[in-house]
């Protein structure tokens, strides 16, 4: 069992939890993720490490409550525990001095971008961050991003904060204004990462995306997470999760993410009905 030492809502339906996992904290590196299972009948779900603390022996996860597993996880309070936790998984981000980097984070992806931005800043890059959400209330980790960025640009789909539009629109604007980026890093929903890749493609800027396909084992044994990159099949959990965004077949990724959508909806309705029945 892995004990939760902190749990709080940082935006509507977005939770931050800290879990006691000293060994994972000791080994964690930016860009890596864990796979966890809440309880004995639970699904294995991957979540990116949003932070870790070696002295406290904790890891931080930030997640959007979308279905049964993330809802169950979100219900847990300080002192509760989850059954299984495996990590750190995936290849760490290639942190080095690129020069000027642009970190683009969308939605809960901003939390996943944070340790990467921090590491790139420590590696003496100039860090320009673009973060965005659907609406102002959903914008998370702004403070954290400010701490490790030279500039932070904000967008919301509805214009309630910052630029009205998508993060990719902001990126396009900056490039048109003459910003020169040596590397662009994108993490967030697949559609957002695809848009970012399309913006940087004509400029020929190295662009990395952190992919989030459906996973089961997370250690290379099942192939559920396969993605097409440069015409080749890759297993995102062991060959990634980061890939050259210009080579990723995002359309396929988006389709594969939806593979169980009917089952997931049905399960969520059932879970909610059961919950109402219990109370």
Partner 1 sequence: MNKWNRFKAVPIPKQPPQVRIYNFNEVALGYSEEQALMEAERCLQCANPQCVLGCPVEIDIPTFIRLIKEGKFREAIVKIKEKNNLPAICGRVCPQEDQCQKYCVLSKRGDPVQIGRLERFLADWEREHNVEIPEKKPSTGKCVAVVGSGPAGLTVAGDLAKLGHEVVIFEALHEPGGVLMYGIPEFRLPKSIVQAEIEYIKRLGVTIKTNILVGRLYTVQELLSDEGFDAVFIGTGAGPPIFMGIPGENLCGIYSANEFLIRVNLMRSYLFPRWDTPIKVGDRVAVIGAGNVAMDASRCALRLGAKEVHIVYRRSRTEMPARKEEIENAEEEGIIFDFLTLPVAYHGDESGWVKKMECIRMQLTEPDETGRRRPVPIEGSNFMMDIDTVIVAIGRRPNPLIQQTTPGLRVAEDGTIIVDENMQTSIKGVYAGGDIVTGEATVISAMGAGKKAAKSIHKYLMGNK
Ligand X SMILES: Cc1cc2nc3c(=O)[nH]c(=O)nc-3n(C[C@H](O)[C@H](O)[C@H](O)COP(=O)(O)OP(=O)(O)OC[C@H]3O[C@@H](n4cnc5c(N)ncnc54)[C@H](O)[C@@H]3O)c2cc1C
* Burial (Cβ within 10 Å: 0-12, 13-18, ≥19) of residue 133: buried
* Contact with partner 1 (CB under 8 A) among 5, 123, 259, 273: 259
Tokens of 60: 């931080």
Contact residues toward ligand FES (CB under 6 A) are 215-218, 220-225, 235, 237
Instruction: Tell which residue, 3, 33, 7, has the closest CA to residue 112.
Output: 33
d(CA 143, CA 162): 15
Q: Nearest Cα to 221, choosing from 237, 232, 210?
A: 237
Binding to partner 1 (CB under 8 A) within 75-134 occurs at: 83-89
The residues binding ligand X (CB under 6 A) are 33, 43-48, 62-64, 66-70, 108, 112, 212-215, 241, 257-258, 261, 264, 268
Distance of CA 128 to the CA centre of its chain: 18
Indicate the residue among 54 and 146 with the shorter CB distance to partner 1. 54
Closest separation between CB of residue 181 and ligand FES, Å? 30
Stretch 23-42: interaction string toward partner 1, x if CB under 8 A: xx--x---------x---xx
Residues 6 or more apart whose CB falls under 8 angstroms from that of 57 comprise 20, 21, 22, 25, 26
Which partner from the list ligand X, partner 1, ligand FES, none does 230 bind, CB cut-off 5 to 8 Å by kind? none
Nearest to 126 by CA among 117, 138, 134, 135: 117
Q: Does the protein bind partner 1 through residue 256 (CB under 8 A)? A: yes
- 11 close to 140: Cβ distance less than 8 angstroms: yes
Single residue of 13, 81, 136, 216 touching partner 1 by CB under 8 A = 216
Indicate which of ligand FES, partner 1, ligand X, none lies near residue 23 (CB less than 5 to 8 Å, by partner kind): partner 1
The smaller minimum CB distance to ligand FES, of residues 15 and 256, is found at: 256
Q: What is the DSSP letter of 42?
A: P
Indicate the residue among 68 and 208 with the shorter CB distance to ligand X: 68
Q: Please tell me whether the peptide bond between 88 and the residue prior to it is cis, using omega within 30 degrees of 0.
A: yes
Supply the minimum distance, in Å, between the C-beta of residue 82 and partner 1.
11
Q: Could you say which of 157, 224, 246, 247 contacts partner 1 (CB under 8 A)?
A: 224
Q: In whole angstroms, what is the distance from residue 73 CA to residue 58 CA? A: 17
* Residue 33 binding partner per list ligand FES, ligand X, partner 1, none, with a CB distance cut-off of 5 to 8 Å that depends on partner kind: ligand X
Instruction: Give the C-alpha separation, 164 to 216, whole Å.
Output: 37
Footprint on this chain of partner 1 (rule: CB under 8 A): 23-24, 27, 37, 41-44, 68-69, 83-89, 216-217, 219-224, 226-228, 233, 235, 238, 251-252, 255-256, 258-260, 263-264, 266-267, 270-271
């Amino acid at each position: 069992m892995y004990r939760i030492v902190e749990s709080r809502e940082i935006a509507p339906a977005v939770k931050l939890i800290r879990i006691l996992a000293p060994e994972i904290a000791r080994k964690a590196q930016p860009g890596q993720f864990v796979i966890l299972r809440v309880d004995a009948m639970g699904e294995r779900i991957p979540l990116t490490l949003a932070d870790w603390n070696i002295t406290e022996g904790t890891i931080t996860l930030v997640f959007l409550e979308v279905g049964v597993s993330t809802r169950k996880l979100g219900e847990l309070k300080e002192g509760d525990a989850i059954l299984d936790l495996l990590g750190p998984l995936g290849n760490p981000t290639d942190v080095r001095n690129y020069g000027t980097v642009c970190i683009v984070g969308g939605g809960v992806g901003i939390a996943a971008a944070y340790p990467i931005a921090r590491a790139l800043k420590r590696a003496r890059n100039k860090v320009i961050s673009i973060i965005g959400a659907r609406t102002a209330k959903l914008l998370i980790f702004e403070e954290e991003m400010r701490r490790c960025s030279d500039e932070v640009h904000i967008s919301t789909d509805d214009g309630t904060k910052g630029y009205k539009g998508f993060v990719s629109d902001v990126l396009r604007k900056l490039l048109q204004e003459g910003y020169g980026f040596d590397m662009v890093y994108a993490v967030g929903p697949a559609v957002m990462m695809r848009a970012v890749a399309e913006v940087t493609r004509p400029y020929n800027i190295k662009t990395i995306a952190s992919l989030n396909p459906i996973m089961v084992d997370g250690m290379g044994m099942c192939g559920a997470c396969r993605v097409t990159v440069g015409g080749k099949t890759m297993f995102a959990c062991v060959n990634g999760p980061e890939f050259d965004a210009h080579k990723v077949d995002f359309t396929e990724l988006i389709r594969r993410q939806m593979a169980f959508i009917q089952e997931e909806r049905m399960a969520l309705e059932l879970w909610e009905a059961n919950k109402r029945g219990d109370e």
